[in-house]
Amino acid sequence: MSSKAGPRAAGTDGTDYLHRQRVAAHYQESANNKFLLKFFFAAHILILAFMWAKVGSEILKKNFDVEFQFFKKLDLPSAYPWEYMYCISFIPIIFGLLSFPRNKVQLINKCYYGQFLLGILPIMIGMGSQIPEVFMYFSDPEGSNTPTFKGFFPMVFIWYIFFLIALQIHIFVMYFCNQLSSAWTPVKKND
């Protein structure tokens, strides 16, 4: 037994216990991936807020005859069907956040597949539906009837910027969901 001022036993400088203080790699990866996934969830909610504002203002205008001056000034085109589907892409985020406290593999897998069905799929449909407008605008910029933002900037370019950002967010979310699912799934031992 050693005291504060007394001699220390030989060979016990404290470094012989370092192996006990290590956190298993899959726990460390899980904590890092949870943090990064929360970051990408926040980015998804941010772009989703803009989509909710656009689609929500259109719903209010069509169904309830409520019109906001801000959206009237922007002169945005009406919403496409894929936009309505993308507006419910917050549901996988809920599954992902619910899976964190107890590392529930089933919920993180629902988040993974939900990101594809409600996130990537509507984006791909939107990209495909905008291709004719891109070609029309590039073939005849002055004569095309492509919707514009504030009367001069083609909306199709804004959509493709949105598509690229949203697609990257969803791909990263799916990657981290897959990593968490792998880290949380118990290793099967062959006896």
pLDDT of 153 reads 77
Using the Cα atoms of residue 161, residue 164, residue 167 and residue 172 in order, give the sign of their dihedral: negative
Higher-confidence residue of 111 and 133: namely: 111
DSSP annotation of 19 reads G
CA distances from 134 to 65, 154, 178 (A): 32, 9, 34
Which band of pLDDT confidence, cut at 50, 70 and 90, is reported for residue 88?
A: very high
Separation between Cα atoms, residue 118 and residue 100, nearest integer Å: 21
Mean pLDDT of the chain: 85
Task: List the structure tokens of 162.
Answer: 């949105």
pLDDT reading at 17 higher than 70: no
Average pLDDT over residues 163-170: 96
Average pLDDT over residues 161-176: 96
pLDDT reading at 182 higher than 80: yes
Higher-confidence residue of 138 and 162: namely: 162
pLDDT of 8 reads 63
As a whole-number percent, the residues of the chain with pLDDT over 70 amount to 82
Higher-confidence residue of 74 and 39: namely: 39
Task: List the structure tokens of 165.
Answer: 């950002």
pLDDT of 2 reads 52
**Predicted structure pTM score:** 0.80
Average pLDDT over residues 141-145: 74
pLDDT of 18 reads 60
pLDDT of 62 reads 81
Contact in structure between 178 and 53 (CB atoms under 8 Å): no
Higher-confidence residue of 40 and 55: namely: 40
pLDDT reading at 34 higher than 80: yes
Contact in structure between 183 and 30 (CB atoms under 8 Å): yes
